[in-house]
Amino acid sequence: MALKIEMLRGFAVVARSGNLSDGARSLGRTPSAVSMMLKQLETHLGEPLFETDRKNRLTALGTFVLEQAERELQQFDNTVKAIEGFAKATHGRVSIAVVPSVAGTVIPDVFSRFIEEFEHVDIELRDMDSTSILHELSRGRIDIGIATLGEHAVGLHSQFLMSDRFGVVASPDHKIAQTRGPVVWSELADERVIANSLSAGITVPESRKLHENAMLTAHNLTSIIAMVRANIGITILPEMASLALQPNDLIFRPLADDTIRRKIHLLRKADSAQSPAARLLERRISETAAHLTERFPA
């Protein structure tokens, strides 16, 4: 007969209770059933575990078995809890990389609404540009990515998340900031444009010409904003990127062509199995993005 975990649990409960009746009550079983289980355990070991039938005093073997049983039961219960927690998405680890504008808008909203669901989940959050996110996903270094799709999105599962319009960001002292309303391309013809990887994806001829003539190109959002704040030039960014600005810090004016939009996708490697925690986080991100879409209507 092989020892079973429930045999050890039954013995430990009776040993700690000090009598068969209380032990059986704690186990939710009849005294006769518990007594039979203990006899099977003693028969298997070849020695008695209790000095008397009253089960109130342990033999030397009983003391040793109790010590080992409680250690094994603790380990077993912790393992079961970890497995169940992982399956229910309450435990685990998820790594996610997002573009900076989403890291500063969508992600904080996700965790402010659902943080209690991820209390025991180890979440690693990184912000990086879309190209780097696609690179990390393709090599399996992150579980979830939020980025714009590019030419190198082969082997990735994508789900459209949201979109936002592009606009011109300028210092309050710049002449572009002196008026309100949408900006037409002709207004930017003679402006010093700070090119960036986000606006470089705009394919209309007017935008391409502006980028070809740009004196400066920056890829880090902090650097871009710092140069615009210093009134070195203007730049073109998606609206969500402008939300990180302080009121009256810089001015955002949308482009007149509202068809020029950045499309953001929720991404993961197509052939990788997702943990329950990662699936839950994806679902909460999608729900939050749908809620925020009201601010960035398509």
Per residue in 161-192, pLDDT (tens digit) is 999 999 999 999 899 988 889 999 999 988 89
Residues 255 and 166 sit within 8 Å (Cβ to Cβ)? yes
Q: Is 98 in the same domain as 137?
A: yes
Q: What is the CATH number of the domain that holds 113?
A: 3.40.190.10
Rounded Cα distance, 235 and 232, in Å: 10
Range of the domain at 113: 92-162+262-295
Q: Does one domain contain both 66 and 33?
A: yes
- To the nearest 10 degrees (0 to 180), the angle between helices 5-17 and 31-45 is 110
Task: Output the pLDDT for position 193.
Answer: 92
Check whether 107 has a pLDDT greater than 70.
yes
Q: Domain holding 9: CATH number?
A: 1.10.10.10
Instruction: Tell whether the model's pLDDT for residue 295 goes beyond 70.
Output: no
Through-space distance between the first and last CA atoms of the chain, rounded to whole angstroms = 68
Residues 186 and 173 occupy one common structural domain: yes
Please enumerate, as own/partner, the contacts of 202-211 that have beta carbons within 8 Å and a separation of 24 or more.
202/166, 202/236, 202/260, 204/257, 204/260, 207/236, 207/260, 210/185, 210/236
Element (H, E) at 195: strand 194-196
Enumerate the H helices of 230-275 as residue ranges.
239-242
| pLDDT of 151 above 70 | no
- Average pLDDT on 27-31 reads 90
Q: Are 193 and 275 members of one domain?
A: no
- pLDDT of 66 reads 92
For 168, phi then psi, to 5°, come to -95, 130
Residues 60, 105, single domain; the answer is no
List the Cα angle 23/27/29 in 5-degree steps: 95
User: What single-letter amino acid sits at 281?
Assistant: L
Over 90: is that where the pLDDT of 200 sits?
no
Dihedral (Cα; 246, 247, 249, 254), 10-degree rounding: 100
**Residues 240, 223 within the same domain:** yes
Residues 156 and 198 in one domain: no
Q: Assess whether pLDDT exceeds 80 at residue 246.
A: no
User: What is the per-residue pLDDT for 88?
Assistant: 65
**pLDDT value of residue 236:** 94
Instruction: Domain count for the chain, please give it.
Output: 3
Asked if 118 contacts 93 with a C-beta cutoff of 8 angstroms, the reply is no
The alpha-helical segments, DSSP class H, found in the chain are: 5-17, 20-27, 31-45, 60-87, 100-103, 106-114, 130-138, 205-212, 221-229, 239-242, 276-292
Q: Are residues 158 and 83 in the same domain?
A: no
> Domain check: are 83 and 11 in the same one?
yes
Same-domain pairing of 172 and 37: no
- Residue finishing a domain among 39, 72, 87: 87
Sign of CA pseudo-dihedral 161, 162, 167, 169: negative
Choosing from 56, 87, 118, the residue where a domain stops is 87
Tell whether 66 and 116 lie within a shared domain: no
Question: 22: which residues sit within 8 A by CB, 6+ positions away?
Answer: none
Please check whether residues 109 and 241 belong to one and the same domain.
Answer: no
Tokens of 257: 């062509």
